[in-house]
Amino acid sequence: MFQVLARSTGSPLRKISDSVRETTRRQMGKELPLIGERHFSALRRILDREEPEYRN
């Protein structure tokens, strides 16, 4: 998605360094399991609020 947005500007893309890419990959790797869990919990809260009868 971000690549599409970046390309839509018409400006040349600037490449990030390998060290920045690796640091970001390591940081995101630690967060990915938490992101999924938080997203699912948020969906469940919405469902509890808007359609509480689903539990029956």
* Residue 25 within any structural domain of the chain: yes
Which domain, by its residues, includes 49? 16-55
* Residue 8 within any structural domain of the chain: no
* Residue 11 within any structural domain of the chain: no
* Residue 6 within any structural domain of the chain: no
* Residue 7 within any structural domain of the chain: no
pLDDT in tens, 7-55: 898 888 888 999 999 998 888 888 888 888 999 999 999 999 999 998 8
Please state the pTM of the whole predicted model. 0.47
Q: How far apart are CA 16 and CA 21, in angstroms?
A: 7
**Are 7 and 13 spatial neighbours (Cβ–Cβ below 8 Å)?**
yes
Backbone angles phi, psi at 12, to 5 degrees: -65, 145
Residue 22 is predicted with a pLDDT of 94
* Residue 47 within any structural domain of the chain: yes
CA separation, residue 54 to residues 41, 48, 50 (Å): 15, 8, 10
* Residue 3 within any structural domain of the chain: no
Number of structural domains the chain divides into: 1
* Residue 24 within any structural domain of the chain: yes
Residue 23 is predicted with a pLDDT of 93
